[in-house]
C-alpha cells in the first residue's frame, strides 16, 4: 500500500508535467486515445508497482469487470514473456546485468492497463512515473528526450523551452526504499508482473 508521501510525489510530478504541457501547447500531441507510449515494456520501481496494485484494488471495488480484464491482460502478457524474461520470471525482478537483453524485450506488448478498445488506461490515476512524464521533453542521461509524435518540426530551443523540470528524485528514492523495506522486494519489475499477482 502506498503512502501519503506517494500522493504528494504524484502531485509534484503531475504539476511539473502540466506546466511543461502548458508551455508546449500545440507541440504536445498527447491526448486520450493516443496509445504510442502504451506499447513496449519498461522498468518500474517497487513504488510504481505498489501504486499500480493499489489502483487495481480500487478498480476492483468500483468496476470488477474492468479490473478482471486488466488482471487477465497482465497474466496473458506474463505468460507470453516469461520464457525470455531478463531476470527472475517467478518474482518479476529484473536483472540489472541483463540490461542489453531488456532493450529488445517485449517491445510489441501492449501495457496490461491499456484498454485497446477505448485507447484509455484503466489505471490512469495509478500509472507509473514513466507514464506520467512521457510526452513533454524530459532530460535523461542520454540527453533531452521527447515522444516522437510531439514537437515535429520544432527547433532545439523550442523543445528545451518546454522541458519538464522535476526536482523530486530524493523524495521518490526515499519512498521507494520504504516500499522495498516494507514488502521485502527490491529492484525493478515491469507492469505485467506487478499486476498479475
Q: Along the 197 residues of the chain, how does pLDDT read in single tens digits?
A: 678 899 999 999 999 999 999 999 999 998 888 998 999 999 999 999 999 999 999 999 999 999 999 999 999 999 999 999 999 999 999 998 898 889 889 999 999 999 999 999 999 999 999 999 998 998 888 888 888 899 999 999 999 999 999 989 999 999 999 999 999 999 999 999 999 87
User: Going by C-beta distance under 8 Å and a sequence separation of 6 or more, which residues neighbour residue 83?
Assistant: 89
Sign (positive or negative) of CA dihedral 16, 21, 23, 24: positive
Residue-level pLDDT at 46 = 97
> What are residue 184's phi and psi, to 5 degrees?
75, 10
Residue-level pLDDT at 56 = 98
Residue 1 has a CB neighbour count (10 Å cut-off) of 11
User: Going by C-beta distance under 8 Å and a sequence separation of 6 or more, which residues neighbour residue 40?
Assistant: 106, 107, 108, 109
Helix (H, G, I), strand (E, B) or coil at 110: strand
Helix (H) or strand (E) holding 62, with range, is: helix 46-62
Residue with cell 510489441: 108
Residue-level pLDDT at 136 = 92
The answer to whether 164 and 23 are in contact (CB under 8 A) is: no
- The DSSP output letter for 189 is B
Residue 108 has a CB neighbour count (10 Å cut-off) of 8
Using alpha carbons only, what angle is made at residue 135 by residues 180 and 20, rounded to the nearest 5 degrees? Answer: 95
Helix (H, G, I), strand (E, B) or coil at 33: coil
> What are residue 110's phi and psi, to 5 degrees?
-80, 145
- The DSSP output letter for 109 is P
Amino acid at each position: 500500500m502506498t503512502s501519503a508521501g506517494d500522493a504528494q510525489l504524484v502531485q509534484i510530478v503531475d504539476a511539473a508535467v502540466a506546466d511543461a504541457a502548458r508551455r508546449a501547447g500545440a507541440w504536445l500531441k498527447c491526448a486520450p486515445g493516443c496509445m504510442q507510449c502504451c506499447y513496449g515494456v519498461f522498468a518500474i520501481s517497487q513504488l510504481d508497482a505498489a501504486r499500480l496494485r493499489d489502483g487495481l484494488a480500487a478498480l476492483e471495488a468500483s468496476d470488477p469487470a474492468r479490473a478482471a480484464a486488466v488482471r487477465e491482460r497482465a497474466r496473458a502478457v506474463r505468460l507470453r514473456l516469461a520464457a525470455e524474461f531478463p531476470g527472475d520470471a517467478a518474482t518479476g525482478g529484473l536483472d540489472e546485468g541483463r540490461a542489453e537483453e531488456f532493450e529488445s524485450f517485449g517491445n510489441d506488448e501492449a501495457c496490461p492497463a491499456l484498454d485497446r478498445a477505448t485507447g484509455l488506461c484503466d489505471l490512469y490515476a495509478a500509472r507509473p512515473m514513466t507514464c506520467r512524464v512521457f510526452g513533454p521533453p524530459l532530460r535523461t542521461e542520454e540527453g533531452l528526450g521527447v515522444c516522437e509524435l510531439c514537437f515535429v518540426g520544432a527547433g532545439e530551443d523550442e523543445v528545451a523551452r518546454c522541458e519538464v523540470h522535476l526536482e523530486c528524485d530524493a523524495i521518490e528514492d526515499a519512498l521507494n526504499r520504504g516500499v522495498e523495506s516494507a514488502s521485502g522486494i527490491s529492484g525493478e519489475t515491469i507492469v505485467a508482473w506487478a499486476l498479475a499477482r
